[in-house]
Amino acid sequence: MNQILLITDGCSNVGESPVVAAAQALAEGITVNVAGVVDEGSIGEHGAAEIAEIARAGGGMSRIVSSRQLSQTVQMMTRQTVVGTIRQAVNQELQQLFGIESVAALPPEKRSDVVRVMEDMGETAPLRVALLIDASASMKPKLGAVTEAIRDLSLSLQARAGDSAIAVFHFPGDSDHEPCVVDSGWTDASARIESLFGRLRMRGTTPTGPALMRVVAFFRETCGKINRETERPSLPTKRDDTDGVRSDYVV
């Protein structure tokens, strides 16, 4: 199960459409959720609409919350998405095998058995969550809450019986042709997350679309090798600079 969680506070303004990028993510089997963080004022009609549309295109959900609610929202969206992904897969199986449209069409005793299997899958299936953090200037006061949300999420993922990992990215990158930067490759240890944004430089542009595309590419490059990843889950994935993400940008 692969998920991208985008945390942002406004509209994209550079490069390709984030909605198209999210649709591409979904096409590659990655669900995209979006948390819009707003403390003062509002996110603007345009920003709110974009957030909702990215999530729709990415098959996920979106919420606009204050930084206080961020941890809980991130938890909830991740969990719901896991449940949703499994439900979808199970319903598909039921459709093919028995010609019924969903779990709800089963009588209670049968449903009870199927749900038990679903719960088991939710707890044990491998889960990858890539967090993509908007680090534009306006996000600066919210990064404390973002770090806390990441810490909190990694705590919950660690408790799962199945193999789980988090990767963290922020955008924009340090130069113009760098849509985003890897802060942490796949890891299952929250210790690495603690001082993530220490050396972050805040910049003006918001290339949400290109950054999303970059994370999708990261999934493609690393998740084919989930097995290798699980043997050494705490090793950060460092790669050369052939695809625009330099290992020396790892904070």
Partner 1 sequence: MGCGVTTSSDTGLPPGTILRGKWNGRTYRLERLLGAGSNGQVYLASSGRAACAVKIGNEPAELQAEANALMSLDRRERKRPPFLLDVDDAALQGRDVPFYAMQYVPGASVRSYLRRHGAQWFGVIGYRLLRRLAELHDSGLVFGDLKNDNVLVTDYGRLALVDYGGMTAAGRSVRQFTEIYDRGYWGAGSRTADPAYDWFAAAVLWIHVLDGKRLMSLTRTVLPQNRSPEDLMTLVRTHTALKPMESWFEKAIHGRFADSNEACDVWRACLHRTEDVPAAKIPGWITGLFVFSVALCVSAAAYLLLQL
Cβ contact 37:7 at 8 Å = yes
Rounded-to-integer distance, Cα 125 and Cα 127, Å:
6
> Which one, 89 or 217, has the nearer CB to partner 1?
89
Say whether residue 198 binds partner 1 (CB under 8 A).
no
In angstroms, the first-to-last Cα distance of the chain is 26
Interacting positions 1-60 with partner 1 (CB under 8 A):
none
Between 99 and 107, name the residue whose CB sits nearer to partner 1.
Answer: 107
Residue 116 near partner 1 by CB under 8 A: yes
Question: Does 155 sit near partner 1 (CB under 8 A)?
Answer: yes
Kindly tell me the number of DSSP H helices and DSSP E strands found in the chain.
7, 6
Minimum Å gap between C-beta 210 and partner 1 is 30
Among 152, 188, 217, 239, binds partner 1 (CB under 8 A): 152
The yes or no reply on residue 230 touching partner 1 (CB under 8 A) is: no
> 141-145 long-range CB contacts below 8 Å, 24 or more apart?
141/39, 141/67, 142/9, 142/37, 142/39, 142/67, 142/70, 143/197, 143/200, 144/67, 145/37, 145/67, 145/68, 145/70, 145/71
Taking residue 137's Cβ as centre, other Cβ atoms within 10 Å add up to 11
Binding region for partner 1 (CB under 8 A) out of 15-23, 148-156, 170-178, 218-226: 148-156
Q: How many residues bind partner 1 (CB under 8 A)?
A: 32
118 counts as binding partner 1 under rule CB under 8 A: yes
Q: Which stretch binds partner 1 (CB under 8 A): 24-32, 108-116, 197-205, 207-215?
A: 108-116
For the CB of residue 34, give the shortest distance to partner 1 in the complex, in Å. Answer: 15
Residue 52, amino acid:
A
Candidate list 11, 17, 151, 188; residue touching partner 1; CB under 8 A: 151
Binding of partner 1 by 194 (CB under 8 A): yes
Phi/psi for 43 (5° steps) reads -80, -10
Cβ–Cβ < 8 Å for 28, 58? no
CA distance 190 to 183: 13
Residues at the interface with partner 1 (CB under 8 A): 61, 71-72, 76, 83, 87, 102-104, 107-108, 111-112, 114-116, 118-119, 123, 144-145, 147-148, 151-152, 155-156, 158-161, 194
